[in-house]
């Protein structure tokens, strides 16, 4: 960017000024990309993984009959043993008796093609059946399907509606997904709303939300910039062995801030922990930091690890 400014101001040749403008634009793009890379978030495209993690529901609701609970449990037992066709049979029997847990899990089996041919329309049917009973996980999974356009046209407003229903019932994953949706708008009010939902999910120890909230504190988006708050949330997620949080902690110690002194040993430790989980970027940063450490610092870092 500085080279571009110099070219525009100091060189009278037209082509030089054009190149200067291009350099300024390119510099701005690279700067924004580096900020996003250094403190990584889960992105809107990552929502797909949310559905499979949300589908399991451990207990039947109070409205479910004893017989439906027994059928549901047979489905659960078969699922745990990897016998998906039998799991579908158990869930189907319970689902037809109005068991909302079975309806959710049956919907998930159809959505994923486990034990049955993949059929998004059937998945939607059973999710809607459970949603009519106010089932939180059904709301969440419907939201995911509207985001992905599975069995229905992609509709983010419908997704937002279902996520909010689940989020209002305290579902951390729905709160996190709402935060990601609001963050896409990138205006001040939406960013504040995103930070609010991330905060609610983060307080339930949902590690991806803790990371995204920390990044917002680093960048001062939706909240006042506060590196101590960012450090706190990264540490909470890293304590759950969440690799992106460990990577971002490494970045904070590698760069240093006014409130957080630069510490290459701690940077090496956190990059190493993330790298040990297969994070390629962390492996690169770990090796980069290692080249700057003394033998005494390396020995101390190994003790910490």
Please state the rounded mean pLDDT for residues 104-131. Answer: 95
On whether residue 236 sits in a domain, the answer given is: no
* Closest by Cα among 11, 14, 102, 97 to 55: 102
CA–CA separation, 137 and 293 (whole Å): 48
Q: Which domain holds residue 29?
A: 2-38
- Asked whether residue 19 is domain-assigned, the answer is yes
pLDDT at 14 (0 to 100): 86
Tokens matching residue 59: 């207990």
In a domain, 264, yes or no: yes
Distance in angstroms (rounded) separating the CA atoms of residues 73 and 90: 8
Within a domain: 118: no
Mean pLDDT of 23-44: 61
Classify residue 252: in a domain, yes or no. yes
Kindly tell me if the per-residue pLDDT of 272 is higher than 50: yes
pTM: 0.80
Give the CA dihedral 138, 142, 144, 145, nearest 10 degrees: 140
Q: Residue 206: phi, psi to the nearest 5?
A: -85, 110
Q: How many domains, in total, are found in the chain?
A: 2
The answer to whether residue 288 is domain-embedded is: yes
In degrees and rounded to multiples of 5, residue 227 shows phi and psi of: -70, -30
Contacts of 149 (CB under 8 A, 6+ apart): 155
The pLDDT tens digits of the residues spanning 65-117 come to 788 889 999 999 999 999 999 999 999 999 999 999 999 999 999 999 999 99
Q: Residue 16 falls within a domain, yes or no?
A: yes
Q: Is residue 282 part of a domain?
A: yes
In the predicted structure, residue 303 carries a pLDDT above the cut 50: yes
Cβ of 167: how many Cβ atoms within 10 Å?
A: 25
* Confidence check: pLDDT of 215 > 50: yes
């Amino acid at each position: 960017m500085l080279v571009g400014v110099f070219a525009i101001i100091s060189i009278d040749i037209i082509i030089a000024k054009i190149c200067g403008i291009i350099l300024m634009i390119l510099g701005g793009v690279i700067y924004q990309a580096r900020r996003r890379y250094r403190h990584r978030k889960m992105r809107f495209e990552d929502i797909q993984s949310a559905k499979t993690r949300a589908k399991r529901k451990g207990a039947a609701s109070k409205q479910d009959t004893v017989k439906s609970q027994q059928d549901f449990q047979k489905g659960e037992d078969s699922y745990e043993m990897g016998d998906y066709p039998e799991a579908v049979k158990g869930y189907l029997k319970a689902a037809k008796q109005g068991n909302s847990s079975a309806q959710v899990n049956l919907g998930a089996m159809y959505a994923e093609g486990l034990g049955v041919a993949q059929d998004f329309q059937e998945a939607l049917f059973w999710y809607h059946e459970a949603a009519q009973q106010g089932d939180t996980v059904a709301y969440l999974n419907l939201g995911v399907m509207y985001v992905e356009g599975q069995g229905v046209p992609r509709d983010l407003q419908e997704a937002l509606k279902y996520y909010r229903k689940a989020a209002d019932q305290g579902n951390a994953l729905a709160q996190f997904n709402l935060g990601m949706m609001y963050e896409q708008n990138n205006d001040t009010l939406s960013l504040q709303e995103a930070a609010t939902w991330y905060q609610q999910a983060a307080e339930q120890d949902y590690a991806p939300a803790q990371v995204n909230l920390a990044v917002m504190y680093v960048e001062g988006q939706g909240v006042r910039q506060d590196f101590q708050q960012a450090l706190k949330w990264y540490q909470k997620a890293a304590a759950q062995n969440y690799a992106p949080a460990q990577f971002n902690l490494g970045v904070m110690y590698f760069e240093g801030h006014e409130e957080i002194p630069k510490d290459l040993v701690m940077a090496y430790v956190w990059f190493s922990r993330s790298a040990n989980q297969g994070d390629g970027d962390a492996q690169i940063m770990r090796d980069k930091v290692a080249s700057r450490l003394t033998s005494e610092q390396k020995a101390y870092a190994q003790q910490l690890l």
